[in-house]
Amino acid sequence: MPVPSFLDIEYCLTDDALFPVAMAWSLQDGQMKTVIIAPAEEWLPEDGDLGDLDLHYLAEQGVPLIELIHELHQDLPDKTVYVDGLDPDEILVDMIFSALNQEAPFEIAPISELITGASSEELEDRRRQLLFEESLEPQLPENGVYALLLMAQGEGLFDAD
């Protein structure tokens, strides 16, 4: 049984800016990919105030958007990709693809559409509990994806090898 696809995005949010800075997503075999994202110039505020965010690090270590889009097209074509439903993931995905005048090759849906036996609040409580039990930092996107994978596995939505 294929593993459902999950995605989580870390982002910068200031008074003048909202843009993705890192992303993780799962593959059909349950493995994950994680990238730092080099921001598009149009995402950056004119005053350059991004709080604690190290723009030099993002520019130096980040994956160019064209490469990220290529990877996402390869890994998630025609899929429904589940997110925790807390962050503006759909807006952030649209930003990534709109920067290069493309559309995402996948649909985004909250985890509550995959795991239907619990309320959104119960699912979020379970996700937070898993992050705590596994000693995972919640702001890292790979940890968010891992927690969603654990939730789906716990629901019997795929078999662990």
pLDDT digits (tens, 9 = 90+) for 101-160: 999 999 999 999 999 989 999 999 999 999 999 999 999 999 999 999 999 999 999 876
Tens of pLDDT, residue by residue over 48-84, are 667 788 888 999 999 999 999 999 999 999 999 999 9
**Structural domains of the chain, ranges and CATH numbers in brackets:** 5-154 (3.30.420.10)
pTM: 0.92
pLDDT tens for 8-41 read 999 998 888 899 999 999 999 989 999 999 999 9
- The DSSP code sequence of the chain is -PPPEEEEEEEEE-SS-EEEEEEEEE-TTS-EEEEEBPPPGGGS-TT---TT--HHHHHHHSBPHHHHHHHHHHHSTTEEEEE-SSS-HHHHHHHHHHTTT---SEEEEEGGGTSTTS-HHHHHHHHHHHHHHTT--TTSHHHHHHHHHHHHHHTTSS---
Percentage of the chain with pLDDT > 70?
A: 97
